[in-house]
């Protein structure tokens, strides 16, 4: 029975390019949400902030 190296199965980095891309999109969405909130549209800002914080940010950490 061959021995396997546990280090060979793990990726070199914790996050991949896709994680960083989703994190960037989440941060831009959150910043846009706050900018829209300052401009005076709280309902649109709420949608952007919920999408950024509750969907994109966790998705960036889990994918």
What's the token pair of residue 63?
A: 């994918």
- Look at residue 14 and tell me whether its pLDDT is greater than 90: no
Site of tokens 């709420």? 46
For the chain, the domains span 16-62
Unique residue bearing structure tokens 């966790």: 58
pLDDT in the model for residue 7: 59
Residue 2 has pLDDT above 80, yes or no: no
Instruction: Give the chain's end-to-end CA distance (angstroms, integer).
Output: 33
Report how far apart, in Å, the C-alpha atoms of 52 and of each of 7, 17, 20, 49 are.
34, 18, 14, 5
Residues 15-55 pLDDT 10s: 899 999 999 999 999 999 999 999 999 999 999 999 999 99
pTM of this prediction? Answer: 0.78
């Amino acid at each position: 029975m061959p021995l396997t190296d546990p280090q060979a199965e793990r990726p070199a980095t914790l996050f991949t390019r896709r994680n960083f891309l989703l994190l960037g999109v989440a941060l831009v969405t959150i910043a846009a949400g706050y900018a829209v909130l300052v401009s005076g549209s709280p309902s649109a800002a709420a949608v952007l902030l919920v999408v950024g914080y509750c969907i994109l940010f966790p998705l960036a950490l889990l994918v």
